[in-house]
């Protein structure tokens, strides 16, 4: 939890839509034998102020399709992977 992220040289530290630098939540290496992402490194960041998704719309108990790809009120930008 926390610490310094392992970013590629071309990657900037992620920022929230509010302009604040996001906090590193956790990171880990995915084992090689776990397809399709084996050998990748997963980093998860969150904004200290906007760290919870708003009241999500559910369909059959699941998030609506493309939930992470679109802004969810009252927030002006998406919560998805950047």
Ramachandran quadrant class, 16 (left: phi over 0; alpha: psi -120 to 50; beta: rest)? beta
pLDDT band at 55 (very low <50, low <70, confident <90, very high): low
Q: What is the pLDDT of residue 1?
A: 58
Has residue 32 got a pLDDT over 90?
yes
**Which tokens sit at 50?**
């906007």
pLDDT at 31: 92
Report the mean per-residue pLDDT for the chain.
80
Per cent of the chain over pLDDT 70 is 84
pTM over 0.75: no
């Amino acid at each position: 939890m926390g610490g310094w992220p392992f970013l590629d040289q071309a990657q900037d530290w992620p920022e929230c839509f509010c302009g604040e630098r996001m906090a590193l939540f956790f990171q880990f290496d995915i084992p090689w034998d776990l397809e399709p992402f084996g050998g990748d490194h997963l980093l998860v960041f969150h904004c200290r102020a906007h760290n919870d998704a708003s009241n999500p719309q559910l369909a059959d108990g699941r998030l609506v399709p493309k939930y992470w790809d679109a802004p969810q009120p009252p927030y002006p930008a998406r919560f998805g992977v950047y």
